[in-house]
Structure 1
């Protein structure tokens, strides 16, 4: 955990582990005649919230996990998918919504959405509703690294250049955000020279990279547990990493580098072809209830866009700068904007080339 938040939230369920489910393996928490399927990041919905939902509705909640936005989009693009709800950002939700693959959100179905300000609603667009938000930064093991990283250089230009000890990620958007911010470029650039410079920085770093698998996925599977001491990560990830089997204490901590960060907003969308549309709306209304949103945010250690929910959070969470960053950090933050598909394809080719070269060694 962050140095400023040494204690876990009072209502956090000690040792709670998110139930991993797939279409073939139902949750089993309740005997339900109906099931709602959520496409989600791993460890990104509180177990206590799942239990409340199932107890109140009698509807089972199954989850399918992805560990990059690209993999999520691949699933959504398949017409035979059986997804009722999906966690996605504005760019993906707009892209799929414009192709009539996502439901145009009806505010009339969501009375509890009034607790979310228009600023956050605008961040998710017409095809989704705000879920959680945060920053992109560096997680590091304080028991192995004496001083907290201050700059993106610690991750991108490590002193131990030939010793694999860093975990990155394969998401073509977020992995490029780090070098672009470090080089004082826009994270939305379509300039080939700027993208090439970012690629070259990542290429030079690659000998120090253990894997481009998302840190939570990699370490929970016990891969690289003894070698990894730094990773590209999202705010809140340190809390999950500190719960990984084999980790003692809370060595993983999170920092936002001085050059700035990516401010991300995760949203919830309803695929247009779901036969469970009414249930999906019911879940969106449920997760927008201030008490439920506060419980979820507290257990995950991630910021909620729900103003009424934030007021219910313990002081330790509301005052934790790794969760709710100070104004000076927000002022140095960038957000992703919609760009031409050709620019997106260029980014995907860059990351594919980077990972293929790394894996070939």
Structure 2
């Protein structure tokens, strides 16, 4: 098994070859000078993939970043956002689709969609296509902690409760998943007592929290570098955190707690007001080409839903349990389901209260 998502020399050579082949391909002048705007997480599209796309089409990729689902939703709700493709998930894409803000998938225009198994397509619904998937867990500095986290309690009931050293996240869905799982509740609960118990657990943890931000965003800003040693994170984030810090030995590692986790599926959607829908669909097909999907997944250290792409990956990557979890981990995992809008609004109020109280200290 690979540790810390380090790619083997064979795959690095393969990656360089793919880039070289792409750069030698003739640019398609039909779209030269055009720009395709993506709304996505930071560091969530391989630079090698961007170079391949731009070499083949002449179309520039412009990325607009968000660091929480709430921030993403604020952008998509604007009537003049100028986003061509947005990173979404089932709940947000279904709600925005019902409001007419996302275009239902034009499946005949997505010739490559069949390469994703029905499980992943169903996880994105009728307004989006599967992009990447993974788990929620704990990223930790192996050189600063004298133990390996194995439970959500290690993050939520830290041994140093009064010393700020943990990075959480602002997202009202994912930040609540860990306390709900630790308390043996469904991550989809709408029960106010269960949500209150999760909130109280987060409040009791808050004195140990440095910031409520996406860990990559927080550390890239050069804040908290000397104090952060644990973070609520997604599979693959540890690879970027090591690059951000530039420290020797890649000390950031990742673990899925023993109680189970959130199994997330990220999707891509086309807004109804996208300026060039045919070009957006061409990009979605491009991302689902097996060679491109494999290159993207390997570069990011994240699991691909594209079965043909997964088959192209070296055995070391397919056997990396931080990327492709064991069956028993998947069996203990939960996925988000649709819930009443009022329940989502309750979650937003809970997290706003938590963060406001922390920032007021």
Q: TM-score, normalised by structure 2?
A: 0.93
Cα deviation, residue 4, structure 1: 7.4
* Distance (whole Å) between structure 2 residues aligned to residue 119 and residue 351 of structure 1: 31
Q: Output one character per residue of 1:44-99: Cα deviation in whole Å (capped at 9) or x when no partner.
A: 00000000000001111100000000000000000110100001110000000011
Aligned length: 345
Q: Equivalent residue for 1:248? A: 248
Structure 1 partner of 2:106: 106
- Superimposed CA distance per residue, residues 151-177 of structure 1 (whole angstroms, 9 cap, x where no aligned partner): 000000001000000000000000000
Are the equivalent residues in 2 in contact too, given 1:12–1:298 (CA < 8 A)?
A: no
Following TM superposition, by how much is the alpha carbon of 1:216 offset from its aligned partner in structure 2, in angstroms? 0.2
Q: CA deviation at 1:343?
A: 0.4
Shift in Å at residue 185 of structure 1?
0.2
Matched, 1:301 2:301: yes
CA distance in 1, matches of 2:248, 2:278: 44
Query: Deviation string for 1:299-350 (max 9, x for gaps)?
Result: 0000000000000001111000000000000000000011111100000000
CA distance in 2, matches of 1:9, 1:171: 36
Residue in 2 that maps onto 1:349: 349
- Contact 2:32 / 2:57 at 8 angstroms: preserved in 1? no
- Answer whether contact 1:12 1:299 (CA < 8 A) is retained: no
Structure 2: gaps spanning 5 or more residues: 17-30
Stretch of structure 1 that moved more, 237-246 or 298-307? 237-246
Task: Check 1:102–1:6 CA distance in 2 against 1; reply closer, same or farther (3 A cut).
Answer: closer
Q: For residue 337 of structure 2, what is the aligned residue in structure 1?
A: 337
Query: RMSD of aligned C-alpha atoms?
Result: 1.6
Deviations 1:244-274 (A, max 9, x none): 1442220000000000000000000000011
Structure 1 pair 235/92, CA: closer, same or farther in 2 (3 Å)?
same
**Separation in 2, partners of 1:291, 1:324:** 19
| Pair 296,360 (structure 1): closer, same or farther in 2 beyond 3 Å | same
Q: How does 1:16-27 map to 2 (within 5 A)?
A: none
Residues 173 and 282 of structure 1, relative CA distance in 2, 3 Å threshold: same
Indicate the SS of the match to 1:38.
strand
Aligned equivalent of 1:35: 35
Q: Quick one: distance in 2 between partners of 1:5 and 1:251?
A: 12
Runs of 5+ unmatched residues, structure 1: 17-30
With over 3 angstroms needed to count, the CA separation of the structure-2 counterparts of 1:48 and 1:332, relative to structure 1, is same
Runs of 4+ in 1 over 4 A off after TM superposition: 4-9
TM-score normalized by structure 1?
A: 0.93
1:142 alignment partner in structure 2 = 142
Inter-CA distance 10–221: structure 2 relative to 1 (3 Å threshold) = farther
1:319 paired residue number? 319
CA contact (8 A) 2:7 2:317 kept: no
Counterpart in the other structure of 1:3: 3
Aligned twin of 1:183: 183
Q: CA deviation at 1:117?
A: 1.1
Deviation of the 1:33 alpha carbon: 1.5
Provide the residue aligned with 2:210 in structure 1. 210
